[in-house]
Each structure stands twice: as structure tokens, then as C-alpha cells.
Structure 1
Amino acid sequence: MLDVRRMVVLAAVIDSGSMTAAAEALNYTTSAVSQQLRRLEQEVGQPLLQRLPRGIAPTEAGVVLADHARRITRQLAAAEADLAQVAGLRRGRLTIGTFPTVGGSLLALAVSRFRTAHPGVRLTVHSARLEQLTQMLDSGEVDLSLLWDYAWNRVDPDAYTLTHLLDDPTMLVVSADHPLADRKRVAVADLSAEEWVVREPDHPVAEVLDRTCRAAGFQPRIAFHANDYQEAQAMVSVGLGIALAPRTAVTNHHPDVRVIPIGSTAPARRILLARRRERVPAPAEAVMVRVFTEVADLYQRSQRPSGPPTVGHASAD
């Protein structure tokens, strides 16, 4: 394989007209230039320069190789310029994985902030279930992904570099005319007589309900299995039952339901930002991690009683 550095030396000698001038331009010694040219001639198997009484002249092979060297030099310079653009976040691409509830409550604000600051970077977002998100991370289909987990099914920290954005507490959802609607806080142990609206049996929040109620000493009575959180809220709003949901799923809730904290009587999930551990993060990834951290902090502050909600929700994890 030809040595590109030696090709560049050849082009410099031909362009300057002498080995001495080329050596000065390249910050080499003249003997080093001569040695590089001899090795290059050995690589190509034919002479590249004619030594004349007054200087040198390229052979036909030397002219061909020098032309390629000049094109390569221009391409390398263009590559350096493009990399500088990417490093400066003036161009490039970033692909993010997300899941619906956090996509509505955190992602939209993060994307808006990032695009405003770095409009030259193309953002692509894929929304999927947790298993699909980790598969996309593993295959490189996404650069970063929002993930979630509970204490009993932690995301593998050896597989991914994880940034913990926030803890997403489980909330109680009741109809606006429910006897508990005006309560500031409710304990799950007080809900043993209630009927429940819950997501499909294999959905994580169904396991949250089962674990929470068993820990409180009762088995929940299921009135309805909902396909998404919007349907669950609609059924709660007409009194079919009460429900549990992550706070991010009910940030902007149905007008005829009330969302009540239940504290540590139900498990919270972690919201995480993940990338493959072995990857070297691109500049855009590092900036997006910082943006998500800031947005998560803003979201948590907006959910405190003194602060009005500032970000929305989506309906189906």
C-alpha cells in the first residue's frame, strides 16, 4: 500500500523544484526527504524523479502520483474542515431513542433547546418500547436513548454509560368527583376497597400495581385493562376505577381526573439517558446529555407544588 505521507513529500519536491526547498516547507531535513522518496520509488517499483544537472524533473509516474497526492491533501484539508464543523456543532447528525411518556414530558423541550442552539445538527428521534430501545442502542441505530427502569429490573450499567436524569414517582389517578379527589396525599393501604383501571397485564405499570397492593396487604380488583394512559384516564374520569401512573404520563392530565401523590407507598421509576459504553461520544452527544440534564431539573422543579407545569405529556409507554 502506498504511503500517503511520502506521496505528499513527492508533490512538495515537484512543486518547489528541489529537495532543499521541499524540506524547508515540510520542516524536514534534505536527507529525510531523499530517504522518503527512495522508499516511495521502491513501493511503486519505478523511478519518480529524474536527477538533472540543474535540479530535478518528474517522470510520468511521478506526475501521476503527485497529482493524486495533491487531491488527497485537498481531501484531508476538507475532512479537517468538516470535522471542525462537527466539533463546533455547526453540522452533523444525532439520533435519539425515546419512549412516549418521557417523549412528551422531557424530549420535546430538550429537542427545542438543542435545535435553537445548534440548528446545523440534524436530529432524528425514534420512539419505541424499552426492549426495542436497547436493541437500537446495541446496533448503533441510535446514538443516545432515554430509558427507564424499576428497582427489580435495572438497566445493565456494564452495557451502557447511564446518566440518571430524574426519579419518576408513581401517582394515584382518581375521578374529579371521587371522595379522595381533594386529598393532598393518599396511602395505598387505604385503597383496598377500590377497583382499578390498569394497563395491559404485561405492561410494567401493571406489575407496579400488583407489587404495590401486595406490599399493602391486598390484591387489586381490576375493572378495566387500558391500551394507553389516555384511555386509562378516560375510564377513571367516568368512575370505572382508579389508576396508578408515572408522573410523566399524567403531567397534563385529563380535565375530569385528579392526580394525587402516594409517596413511597408505590415504587418510582428512574429516567435514564444511555449510550453504548464502548463508544467515544461525539460533541453533539455530550451537549445533548447536558441539555437533558438541564431539562430534567427544570421538569422536577415545575412539578413542585409552588411551580406551575411547563412541559407536556404523551400517552403510551
Structure 2
Amino acid sequence: MRLHALQETAVRYFLEVVKTGSVKDAALKLNVAPSAVSRQVARLERELDTLLFERHARGMVPNAAGELLAAHAKRTQQDIERVAGDIAGLRGLRSGHVRVVSTEGFAFDFLPTLISRFRASYEGIRFHLEVGTPNEIPRRIRDGEADVGMTLSALAEPGIKVELRQPSPILAVMAQGHPLAAQRQLSLRQVVGYPLGLPSEESSIRQLLDISCGRQGLRYVPAMSSNHANALVSFAAAGGGSIAFYGELSIRTQLQSNALVAVPLKDREMNERYLEVQTLAGRSLPDAGKAFVRFLTEAIKETA
């Protein structure tokens, strides 16, 4: 085996095929011809004397050797980023790049506000924030696509370090003038008769709502459903007796501006949700990433 085959271009093209599942899609992402991607993958396989993918009609899936090479390449990329961050750290925390992935609720208001506050002290640090589903976030961290994840999780994820785990109860959210707005606590039995704005069936809110209503024999009919958090917040804020469901961090700005009221729910399932700040287990983040994780976890603890 000739290790000089593990050069930057070939491995970069290989990783893109792993990520996208096809030569054509990888070529589009890399802005090169599909033949160039195929040549680089074939060269790696020739030099390493082994196939790296299982070829299927619907795409390419890394085999055991491909998964081993992909894991090695991702670790190498992360080591380079860490060393670059450490070198920058010798000059003080003046530069760096932090990639954050989160569920939509946290990306709507809480994280952008927090990033702005962080950059007030470290203006040379750049951020990239993407939205993903709770299932996608740990995968993106394991695949090296993100440094820090903020998500709602119920199960332990392999290869993931949980920097912080904290309860994130679901609240009933409504306009100031709603008939239930003055209540200190509500039950779903009081709520389900009002027009409900609900997220998709795959969301943790919808799943816990269904479990709790099923246990109590309650039925509801969504007045509006959407996979967009802003739409449901606006639906509740518009009045008409509408109610949505959210965690406090997701709508903090609206609550501070008195546009909305958020009332705790007494039903036990609606209080069995947890937020997590996640990083890759065994990875030493660059200094910028470490500083932001500290800043993020402290900000969340302050809300408890």
C-alpha cells in the first residue's frame, strides 16, 4: 500500500462521495466534472488495493474499508482545525471559525442572539449556523460537519459528548389577551379545545403531545400545522384563541417584548423533554469552539 495516495484532493473527493452518496452529487458540490471525482476515487482504491464503496443502483455506500478511511480522514481534518485554532490562540482569542448545528427553535432567536453577544468580546471569531432535525445533529457532529450541536434529545448517542443536559419543558404559548393567559399553570385538558398550531408529527413536541393525550383519552384537531417555527409563533401571537407549544428559550425575545404569554403545563409528558449541548467525544475543540461552548452552557444554566 502506497500511503502517498492519501493526498488532500483524492481524500476530499472521496469524503464528498461518502457524504452525498453518489459521484454525480459529489461533483456538483465540488464544482468539478463527475469523471474527475470517479478518477480520484478509483485512484484511491487502486493505490490502497481495496474497494472503498459498495456500488448500488441508487448510489454508493462505503464498505468497511471505506468507513475506516472516512473516519481517519475526518479525524485528520479536525486535528488540522484544532492545531490552527491553537496557533491562533497563541495570539489570543482573536480569530477562529465555529460551526454550530441546532434544531429550528434554538436557531430562530436564542443562538443568533447569543452568538452576537459572544462576538462583542471576540469579534474576530466567525460562525456558521445550520438547522437540522434532532436525528441529524449528532450525525453531523460525528461526520465532522459541525463543532457544536444544540438539540432536544431523549437517548444517548454513540460518539457524542454531552456538554450540558437540562430540562426543556413544553409551554402553552398564546397572545396576551387569550382567555387562559392569566393562568399560572394549565393542563392539556384545558388547552385542547382551543385552535392549536402544531409542528410536524416527527417533532418532539408533537410526539409528547400525542403520548400525553393518548394516556388521558384527549382528542385534538390542529387548526394549523407547519414545519416552520416562526409560522406557529405568529399564529399564536395573532390571537383568535390560538395556542402553540414551545420551550422558553425558543421564544425568549417575544416573551420579553410582551407579545406572547407562555404558561407551564402540568401534564408529566410535557415536562419530560431535555435540551443538550453536544460535541464529538474524544475531540479537543479549537480554542474558539471551547470558549463558545463555555459561553453557551453558562447562558443556558442562567435560565434554569
Structure 2-normalised TM-score? 0.61
**1:247: which partner in 2?**
248
2:146 maps to 142
Q: How far off its partner does 1:242 sit? A: 2.7
**Aligned partners of 2:189, 2:183: CA distance in 1, in Å?**
15
Indicate conservation of the 8 Å contact 1:165/1:292, yes or no. no
8 Å contact from structure 1 (residues 201, 225) kept in 2: no
Give the 3-state SS of the residue equivalent to 1:95 in structure 2: strand
**Equivalent residue letter for 1:86:** G
Separation in 2 of the partners of 1:260 and 1:103? 22
What is residue 292 of structure 1 aligned with on the other side? 296
RMSD: 3.0
Per the TM alignment, residue 229 of structure 1 is displaced from its structure 2 partner at its CA by 3.1
Tell whether 2:278 aligns with 1:278. Answer: no
Aligned equivalents of 2:175, 2:167: Cα separation in 1? 25
Provide Cα deviations, 1:55-80, integer angstroms capped at 9, x if missing partner: xxxxxxxxxxxxxxxxxxxxxxxxx9
Q: CA deviation at 1:201?
A: 2.7
Counterpart amino acid of residue 239 in structure 1: G
How far apart in 2 are the matches of 1:85 and 1:192? Answer: 54
Bigger Rg over Cα:
1
Contact kept, 8 Å, 1:169 with 1:267, in 2: the verdict is yes
Q: Is the 8 A contact 1:197 1:240 kept in 2?
A: no
Q: 1:137 Cα shift?
A: 1.0
| Cα displacement (A) at 1:283 | 2.2
Q: Which moved more, 1:134-143 or 1:114-123?
A: 114-123
CA distance in 2: counterparts of 1:128 and 1:286, whole angstroms: 22
CA displacement at 1:241 relative to structure 2 = 4.1
Deviation at 1:256, TM superposition (A): 6.2
Q: Judging changes above 3 Å, is the alpha-carbon distance between structure 1 residues 291 and 233 closer, same or farther for their aligned structure 2 residues?
A: closer
Identical-residue share of aligned pairs (%): 18
- Equivalent residue for 1:154? 155
The residue aligned with 1:95 is: 99
Distance 2:292 2:251 in 1: 25
Three-state SS of the structure 2 residue aligned to 1:97 is strand
d(CA) in 1 for partners of 2:135, 2:285: 22
Matched, 1:85 2:88: yes
Residue in structure 2 matched with residue 28 of structure 1 by the alignment: none
**Is 1:186–2:186 an aligned residue pair?**
yes
3-state SS in 1 of match to 2:271: coil
Q: 1:211 to 1:133 in 2, by over 3 A?
A: same
AA paired with 2:214? R
In the superposition, relative to structure 1, how do residues 281 and 214 fare at CA in structure 2: closer, same or farther (>3 Å)?
same
- Structure-2 residue corresponding to 1:54: none
Residue 291 (structure 1) shift: 0.5
Contact 2:173 2:245 in 1 (8 A): yes
Length, aligned pairs only: 217
Measure, in 1, the Cα distance between the counterparts of 2:233 and 2:106: 17
Q: What residue is the counterpart of 1:55 in the other structure?
A: none
2:95–2:288 contact (8 Å) kept in structure 1: no
Compared CA separation, residues 96 and 193, structure 1 to 2 (3 A):
closer
SS of aligned partner of 1:284: helix
1:126 counterpart = 2:130? yes
